[in-house]
Amino acid sequence: MPQAPKRDGLPQGFRSAELGWPELDRIPHPPHRIPLLGDVVGVNRRTPLQDSLRYARELGPVFRRKAFGKEFVFVWGARHTADLADESRFAKHVGLGIANLRPVAGDGLFTAYNHEPNWQLAHDVLAPGFSREAMAGYHPMMLAVARQLTEHWDSAAATGRAVDVPGDMTKLTLETIARTGFGHDFGSFARSRPHPFVTAMVGTLTYAQRLNTVPFPLAPLLLRSASRRNAADIAYLNHTVDELIRARRASGRGDGDLLDRMLETAHPETGERLEPRNVRRQVITFLVAGHETTSGALSFALHYLSRHPEVAARARAEVDRVWGDAAEPAYEQVARLRYVRRVLDESLRLWPTAPAFAREARQDTVLAGEHPMRRGAWALVLTPMLHRDPEVWGADAERFDPDRFDAQAVRSRAPHTFKPFGTGARACIGRQFALHEATLVLGLLLRRYELRPDPAYRLRVTERLTLMPEGLRLHPERRTPVREPASDLRCPVPGAGD
C-alpha cells in the first residue's frame, strides 16, 4: 500500500516496521523466513489473525512477521499493552485492514486519521446520542427488534429446526442500529437471504483483509475481479445510505436520533456541522461497525452458553429473579443482569470480535523500557492474546469462566488488560449501546429458550477483519411458562420494508 501524504512529519497509512523500530533485529520472528516472501510458510490467507495467535504463543509478548516485504510488529503482553495505552505517548494508528476501508468509510469515526478534524467533530456531536437518557429511549426499539427474533426462533422451536445463530444475530443487530440510529427498517427478518446491504458489507470487509495478503504491486492483477466486486459493493453501500439520508431530509422525522444529530446538530463550541459527504461516511460506519461486532459477540456468547449448561442455568436464574413476571424488562432492569454481563465479557475476552487495534508513537520513546520506537512507529495489539496472557488470567486462560469478571476479580486486575473496545480517545463510541443491546438479548433468549447445541459442532472462527463463529447452529427449545407481552409495542419507522 502506498503511503499517504505526510502531515506534521508523519506519513499516514502503512509503513513498514524497520522505518520505526531501530532495534528491530532484537524482536523475534517465525522460523523459515523466505527472501522476498517473508514469513509465509504454514500460513492461511483466510486466517491471518489466528496464524498470528499461534506465532504469539511461540514467540512471546512482542514479535514480528514479514509478508511480501512488509514488516509488522505485534504486541500482546499486558505490560507492553498498558504502555501503549498511555495517551500522552501513543495514539491510534490507522493501518492494515482499517486503512483499506477508507474508500468506503473515509474520515468516519473508525477510519479517520488522527489529523483529520471530522472524527473529533463527529465524536463531540454524536456523544450525547449515547447518554443514559438516549439509551433509555432506544430500549423500546431494541425490544421490538428482539420480538422479531423470538418469533423466528419460536417457529424453529415448534418444528424442531436449528437456527443459524450468526445469521440471525446479524439480522437482529443490523435492524437494531438501523432503527434506533437512523429510523430505517431493512426488513431483515422477512428475508430468507441476507439483506444486500449485509452482503455488500461482508464483501468490503473481506476485500479489505485480502488486500493485506498479496504484494501491493500485484494486487491490481491478482484481485482484478475482486476489485470490481468491491467497487460494486461500495457503490451499493453509498446508494443505500444516500437514499436513507434523502428520505430523512424529505420527511424531517427523526426524533433526535443519530441521523438527526448528524444532519442538524452544530458543535456546541465551534458551531461547525458535519459536511454531507462525512454524514454518509458516519452513517456507513455506524451501520457496519454498529452491528457486525455486536452480532459476533452475541454469537460467541450463545455458543458458550450452549456448551456450558451450568453457566446457562445460573444466568437464566438471574434473569428470572431480576425480571420476575414482567412481560418485558424495563431499561433499568437490564443493567441488573450482572452475571449475564459476565458471560458476555468472558465471551469477549476469548473472542473479541474486533480482534486488534494499532497504536503509534507520538514521539521517540521506549516501549515498556525495552524496545526503542521512533516517532510514528506503530504496533498491532493482538487483543485475543492480551486476554489470554497467563500472567493476568492464569494458567487456565483458555477456559471459559464468567467469574473472572466478578467485581472482586475485576478490581484485582491491572488496568488495560481487557480491551474489546479499543483504547483511548478513539475507543468505540458505541460501547454502552452494544453492551446494553447484547445483555438485553441474551437475557430474553435465556428466559425463553433452552439452547441445545449440535454435539458434533467444533468452534471454527471466520475472519473478515471482525471475528464470527462459523457455521454455528443451535436448537432452541421453548421454556414454560413464558409470559407474553400484553400488546404489540412495535415501533413503526420510516422506510419499513425497504
- Residues designated catalytic: 293, 421, 428
Phi and psi torsions of 226, nearest 5° = -65, -35
Q: Give strand ranges (E) for 234-349.
A: none
Alpha helices in 38-192 (DSSP H): 48-59, 78-84, 96-100, 102-105, 117-126, 132-159, 165-182
Coil, helix or strand at residue 455: coil
Of 96, 32, 44, nearest in space to 70 by CA: 96
DSSP three-state, residue 255: coil
179: exposed, middle or buried (C-beta count within 10 Å: 0-12, 13-18, 19+)? buried
Burial (Cβ within 10 Å: 0-12, 13-18, ≥19) of residue 414: exposed
Provide the H-helix boundaries in 211-223. Answer: 219-222
CA dihedral 425, 122, 96, 82 (to 10 degrees): 10
What are the grid coordinates assigned to 148, written together?
422479531
SS3 326: coil
Count of CA atoms in the C-beta half-sphere (13 A) of 491? 21
Whether 290 and 177 have beta carbons less than 8 Å apart is answered as: yes
Cα(467)–Cα(352) distance, integer angstroms = 7
- For the beta carbon of residue 353, count every other beta carbon within 10 angstroms: 23
- Greatest alpha-carbon pair distance for the chain in Å reads 69
162: burial class by Cβ within 10 Å (0-12, 13-18, 19+)?
A: middle
Residue type, 488: D
